[in-house]
Chain A
Amino acid sequence: MMKEPEVTFELAQEHGIIKEEWEKILKILGRTPTFTELGVFSVMWSEHCSYKNSIAQLKTLPRSGGRLLVDAGEENAGLIDIGDDLAVAFKIESHNHPSAVEPYQGAATGVGGIMRDIFTMGARPIASLNSLRFGSLKDARTRFLFDGVVRGIGDYGNSFGVPTVAGEVYFDESYQGNPLVNAMAVGIVNKKHIASATSKGAGNPIMIVGSSTGRDGIHGATFASEEISEKSEAKRPSVQVGDPFTEKLLLEATLEIIKNDWLIGIQDMGAAGISCSTSEMSEKGNAGMKINLDKVPLREDGMSAYEILLSESQERMLCCVKKGYESNVKEVFEKWDLHCEIIGEVTDEEILDIDYQNKLKAKIQPFDLVLGGGAPVYIREQKEPEYLKETRKFDSKALTEPKDLKETFLKVFSSPNIVSKQWVYHQYDSMVRTNTIVGPGCDSAVILIKGTNKALAMKTDCNSRYVYLNPKEGTKIAVAESARNIVCSGGVPLGVTNCLNFGNPYKPEVYWQFAQAIAGMGEACRHFDTPVTGGNVSFYNESPETAVYPTPVIGMVGLVEDLKHITTSYFKDEGDVIYLLGEDKEEVGGSEYAKVIHNKVAGESPTINLDEEKKLQDTLLNLIRKGLIKSAHDISEGGIVSALAECCIINQEKQLGCEVEIPIKSRKDFSLFSESQSRIIISISKDKILELESELKLSNVKFTKLGVVSGSSLKLKNLFDVNVNELSDIYYNTIPRIMSSEK
């Protein structure tokens, strides 16, 4: 075994610890830390575990109330009451840095980690979602990353047996060197069987269960807390390796022991491994632990205490078991062929006492290590970014109006950001567990809650170009659009989980973006009564070339209170009447049109009036409940024509045309491609026209009758026609063509 190096400030610096943190550690311990302790402090105080640069802002978000059962940050994932003695647990997390160097394993372990966060609460995962961002698809490296990430997500989720049901994929040069891979999981738990991430009661045994511990992923949390550089390739060993089969066994065993009420608490081991789980569980229970690392099942010889404590080997859990039930717990894990070893016990004194090979290796108060305790909290300097002066100066009126609108539309509609992501989601098992009522491809996924007449609607959303042009407004839009997607599917928005992907927080301009985004998110979440149940912050998303667009991804879950309310986005029958709810404000700043046709990401982002948005959503939900609506689809990237085209072709078994007249304001291109918010396309049966219009007038929502579902073309009166076969070919074959033409 290697000799432990002498602990000095220089060594601490190499661990990412800054001067003031080093001094804080000396003060806390009253001595120089041991090498092992230095490792533990460095991971626990890393950005990834401590949220040191974000927590002050996050605390301004609405994090409690409503149907929320636990406040944000209290447990491994958020928990919301959905009636029938059930609660829904959900959370989103990033795996950006690992995926940038090792896309397949990076993405796979991202899925594995977020699943464990869900079932460690006693909830059975029922759905997986994701939000992915890459550079331009024209680039070979992007195609390599895209292919690897999708296979990684697919192979893990498919084998684990949880359907991947919704998500989003965007391509933009800003993500060239630093792709974003955010994975979200949703689970259901009977309120009687909710588990907590705590440990208490002196003498209760601490057990490590699941996989053995190896050297994989050491300092993964630290790696996630720095910018990607040429040196990042050398950090490939910081990427963990996933084993979905073991995780599936771990899931079944874990749910079985939780149901039997043999546990005080349980926490999964993700970032910072045993260090994090022992300290966080102890801190939550106001207790201590005496741990003997000799008992930890290892998969490699000669591992040091430092390595064992920092290993991020996947598919492991730490359990605090009620004394007397050790053999019951062991029996279950043996049935599933998994390790289960007692590695220590709870102590009264609030001290983490870690021994290895008959030596005391670490002695730290758990409080000093964790978020909300001794971990540092910083409020960073903010400065409005320079680039905004440039982008704001740009007036969209300067864009030249294209002569051929049909050709322009086909170009916009062919953008990889707009076309179907079927190439992606056909690689995901979207149906296992037989709850998928509406799978990928619609406004949001709808998942049956077995044994009830209810369902959950869920979606991830963020248009980062808007956020780049106006962080506050753009983030409000991300929340509003998620809610709109849930409502279009017939659900009531319940709550939000967020994945905040930003650059380096020590740069004042990045921190300004972050603070603005949080302000916008808080305002919007209060408006829709959707508290933020938890989530994840990922800073340092920068590569030598660029910083990524600020990307606060919103994951939202809603409740469909009656299966009759489930609504899909596509047109249903010939002769149905098409309406636009809401109105256009000719906003092309940050639009797909401006980017694809004019190569411009400038001007003002679309704006949003949250009162109008809420009124629109409440009205639509009311109309859905009254049984008036046959389809509802939100207008987003690409504008109204792209949305209409999608309504025609999303149902591949029954594609329909339509004849519509699009209201033109000052410029045709603006009216066709504007991405103004708070707009929804609905279709209704002809005999409901009077009822619908009187309801809409009553609720004071602006509406326009656009036309009818008819024929086999998208016919825009006085403008152009496109055959649905042509639309369908573009929509479904663009990405497969790009991906098969590679090499």
Chain B
Amino acid sequence: MSLKFGVVVFPGSNCDHDAYYALRKILNYDVEFLWHKENDLKQSNVILLPGGFSYGDYLRTGAIARFSPIMNSVINFANKGGIVIGICNGFQILLEAGLLPGVMIRNNSLKFVCKDVYLSVENRDTIFTSEISSDKKVVKIPIAHGEGNYFANPELLKELEENQQIIFRYSDAEGNVTENDNPNGSQLNIAGIVNKNGNVLGMMPHPERACDPTLGKTDGTLIFKSIANYILN
């Protein structure tokens, strides 16, 4: 099977080009932009919802973007088992669209935060993490958000844990998940989760920013390579 990423462009997306560049120029995959006003996924078999401030995020992050025409197609695609990855604002949109459970609230510092963080990889047996070898304790990937404080009720949190839906948690460089390393107040230090079926990933950190060796970080490639491997094998 061939591999093709579709990167959705909402008005206000600003990591769309970064994702495109990482996939096309660094990893050499086939990629196409998908304009939000259309509903054609153009034969993409992985949909990427990029970071940014869709519609300015003036109402609530991701709240308006989910009504874009393209989202109907994305929801159908995901419900049929299609692979979807939402990064930062993309994660927020997936929550608003109901493709992932829980909600996002403002960082507990009430401030935007941009920095490199370490993520402990909680589940390596997924479409998105199979290429992260078990001797690698953490991945280093930057965050940049004002609303990345993941919130869910206790029942949902329990369910996420039981189903191993929590994929990434904020940690120190050794992989210890501590309060100190939680940049935004997320429950259980959650940085990324998948849906029950495991075909939809939402994560606040930006893997596309950790791909180009020139910039000194490459752990983000492992996530895209995992997806590629899953599709190509």
Contact = CB atoms under 8 A, between A and B. Distances in A.
- The answer to whether A and B interact is yes
A696 interface: no
Contact of B22 (A248, A428, A434, A437): A434
A426 B215 contact: no
B12 A426 contact: no
Contact of A161 (B52, B112, B215): B52
Contacts of A563: 214
Given A430-B114, A434-B208, A337 B14 contact: no
B223 to A, nearest CB: 15
A337 B214 CA distance: 36
Interface residues of A, number: 32
B215 A158 contact: no
B174 to A, nearest CB: 13
Among A245, A426, A430, A434, chain B packs the most CB atoms within 10 A around the CB of A434
A245 B18 contact: no
Interface string B1-43: 0000000000110110110011000000000000000000000
B111 interface: yes
A161 B115 contact: no
A432 interface: yes
B112 A337 contact: no
A434 B215 contact: yes
Interface string B162-180: 0000000000010000000
A154 interface: yes
B112 A158 contact: yes
B66 interface: no
Contacts of B159: none
A159 B18 contact: no
Contacts, number: 86
A158 B142 CA distance: 14
Interface in B199-217: 206, 208-209, 211-212, 214-216
B204 to A, nearest CB: 13
B111 A434 contact: no
A432 B144 contact: yes
Contacts of A245: 11-12, 53, 55-58
B16 to A, nearest CB: 9
Contacts of A428: 112, 114
A249 to B, nearest CB: 6
A231 interface: no
A429 B214 contact: no
Interface string A431-454: 111111100000000001010000
B12 to A, nearest CB: 5
A399 to B, nearest CB: 40
Contacts of A368: none
B208 A429 contact: no
Contact of A158 (B18, B53, B173): B53
Interface in A563-580: 563
B105 interface: no
B212 A336 contact: no
A159 B12 contact: yes
Contacts of B208: 434
A64 interface: no
Nearest to B142: A431
B113 interface: yes
Nearest to A434: B18
Contact of A244 (B51, B56, B146, B206): B56
Contacts of A248: 11-12, 14, 53
A158 B144 contact: yes
A432 B142 CA distance: 10
A427 interface: yes
Nearest to B52: A161
Contacts of B15: 161, 432
Nearest to A246: B56
Given A437-B214, A437-B215, A429 B112 contact: yes
B2 to A, nearest CB: 26
Interface in A619-650: none
Contacts of A249: 11-12
Given A161-B52, A431-B209, A448-B214, A155 B14 contact: no
A653 B138 CA distance: 15
A355 interface: no
A146 interface: no
Given A426-B113, A434-B18, A448 B53 contact: no
B97 to A, nearest CB: 20
A243 interface: yes
Nearest to A161: B14
A426 B114 contact: yes
Nearest to B58: A245
Nearest to A428: B114
B90 to A, nearest CB: 14
A540 interface: no
Contacts of A653: 173
B208 to A, nearest CB: 7
B55 to A, nearest CB: 7
A151 B215 CA distance: 26
A41 interface: no
B225 to A, nearest CB: 18
B207 to A, nearest CB: 11
B58 A429 contact: no
A43 to B, nearest CB: 29
Contacts of B51: 432
Given A244-B53, A244-B56, A427-B111, A433 B12 contact: no
A431 B144 contact: yes
B15 to A, nearest CB: 6
A708 to B, nearest CB: 26
Contact of B144 (A151, A429, A437): A429
Interface string A148-171: 000100110011110000000000
Contacts of B14: 159-161, 248, 432
A7 B131 CA distance: 76
A427 B209 contact: no
A719 B212 CA distance: 45
Interface in A380-432: 425-432
B17 A431 contact: no
Contacts of A436: 215
A154 B53 CA distance: 13
A432 to B, nearest CB: 6
A434 B112 contact: no
Contact of A434 (B55, B56, B212): B212
A427 B56 contact: no
Contacts of B142: 431
A427 B112 contact: yes
A705 B128 CA distance: 51
A159 B57 CA distance: 9
Contact of A429 (B21, B57, B114, B216): B114
Interface string B54-86: 011110000000000000000000000000000
A427 B114 contact: yes
Among B55, B114, B142, B208, chain A packs the most CB atoms within 10 A around the CB of B114
Nearest to B113: A426
A403 B59 CA distance: 59
Contact of B112 (A155, A246, A448): A155
A244 B53 CA distance: 9
Interface in A89-140: none
A432 B18 CA distance: 8
Contacts of A243: 56
7 contacts: A159-B52, A245-B11, A248-B14, A431-B209, A434-B22, A435-B215, A437-B215
Interface of A: 151, 154-155, 158-161, 243-246, 248-249, 336-337, 425-437, 448, 450, 563, 653
Interface of B: 11-12, 14-15, 17-18, 21-22, 51-53, 55-58, 111-115, 142, 144, 146, 173, 206, 208-209, 211-212, 214-216
**7 closest Cβ pairs, A-B complex:** A161-B14, A245-B56, A159-B53, A429-B144, A434-B18, A429-B114, A427-B112
Given A158-B146, A159-B57, A243-B56, 5 more contacts: A155-B146, A337-B11, A434-B212, A563-B214, A653-B173
